[in-house]
Amino acid sequence: MRNLIPSTLLLLLLLLLGTLDRTGYCAGSHWLQTFNTVILEPGMTEPRLIQVSYVDSIQFQGFDSEAPNASMQPRAAWIEQEPPEYWEKETTQVVSLTLSKGRILRYIANENRHSKNDYRTLQEVFGCNLANDGTFLRGDYRLTYYDYDYVTLNEDMISWSAEGDTAKSLLSMWETGGVGESWMTYLRGTCSERLLRFLELGKKTLLRSDAPKTHLTHQVRPDGNVTLRCWALGFYPADITLTWQTEGINHTQDMELPDTRPAGDGTFQKWAAVIVPSGEEQRYTCHVHHEGLPEPLTLKWEPSTTIPIMAILIGLILGTLVIGTVVYLVVRKK
């Protein structure tokens, strides 16, 4: 039996996978993506559906079937421009989706002979990617049960892949009922039209370009080597490239490069680090590419002239003694 995982953690994992795994992503293009997580916990009679939708890295609406008076809710100021009819339609569709995805989840669980006491989850990601001029670039669809059986739309946008006997059986039913073809039509048509509308509604936020604020840090390691870290802060959109070079040669294998992280204020941050021999820091350059920059940046570590800490302390002590002596003499004279 699998370990029970909180539903919020499952959702975060799903969002992380969907946000970071964009094979074929074109810099400067835009994504509309929707993430569905369907959950059946032991003792639940009805499934729970959590849905979040994003344009690029900005969540603009969300739904939780367990929320009081469950309805689709705005999550960005620009989407609030949509009229009441829009929210009524979105709510009706997502409530219907809760029932249909619940049936799929129960079907897969029964096919896998999983007990009603198991923690069962179904995860679905779908979306479309458009170039800045509105040209359709690609679509994406993935359906995952737990973490293994899944159905995926191939990059050619005309065929599907399935892993696991249950997934293959489900895909066979889809193909017979025309579900697969409907998804491809949706991604090329309705999804693309929605994305173009949302980009127009939220253009002040979604189409802006905030250039990164950059700097380097220098840290001596216990082994005598030095860690040079190249920082990029406060940039938007999230797509950015940081590379370390020595004499024009990229350090790709020995460079530490964590994922791009949200800064909490609608912008992003990232860093890249290399370990270099002490004294050779100036041979290394950090190169930053981002659409908010008029041209790529090149940064090199420049050691600053620093006053030894002991000299600073001695100066402070002497200054204090001098001031104290002057005060004493003035008080004594009076």
Task: Report domain extents, the chain.
Answer: 7-206, 213-300
Q: Which two tokens stand for residue 48?
A: 């729970």
The sheet that has 73-74: what strands, in order across it?
73-74, 58-64, 48-55, 30-40, 120-130, 136-145, 149-153, 160-163
pLDDT of residue 280: 93
Q: Is the pLDDT confidence value at 275 over 60?
A: yes
Whole-number Cα distances in Å, 233 to 74, 240, 290: 28, 11, 12
Q: How many CA atoms lie within 13 A of 210 on its CB side?
A: 18
pLDDT of residue 15: 45
**86 residue type, one letter:** Y
CATH of 213-300 among 3.10.150.10, 2.60.40.10, 1.50.10.10, 2.60.120.380: 2.60.40.10
**pLDDT bucket at 51, cuts 50 / 70 / 90:** very high
Q: Is the pLDDT confidence value at 47 over 50?
A: yes
How high does pLDDT run on average in the chain?
A: 84
Name the one residue in this structure whose structure tokens are 């899944």.
150
pLDDT of residue 147: 64
**Best CA proximity match to 220, nearest among 147, 296, 294, 303:** 303
Q: What is the pTM of this model?
A: 0.74
When comparing pLDDT for 149 and 126, which is higher?
126
Please enumerate, as own/partner, the contacts of 130-136 that have beta carbons within 8 Å and a separation of 24 or more.
130/29, 130/30, 130/192, 130/195, 130/196, 131/26, 131/28, 131/29, 132/28, 132/29, 132/30, 134/192, 134/196, 136/188, 136/192
> Going by DSSP bridges, is the β-strand pair 268-276/249-250 parallel, antiparallel, or unpaired?
unpaired
When comparing pLDDT for 13 and 244, which is higher?
244
When comparing pLDDT for 160 and 319, which is higher?
160
pLDDT of residue 44: 78
pLDDT of residue 308: 46
pLDDT of residue 6: 46
CATH of 7-206 among 1.20.950.20, 3.30.500.10, 3.60.20.10, 3.40.1210.10: 3.30.500.10
pLDDT in tens, 154-188: 988 888 999 988 889 889 988 888 888 899 899 99
> Going by DSSP bridges, is the β-strand pair 73-74/120-130 parallel, antiparallel, or unpaired?
unpaired
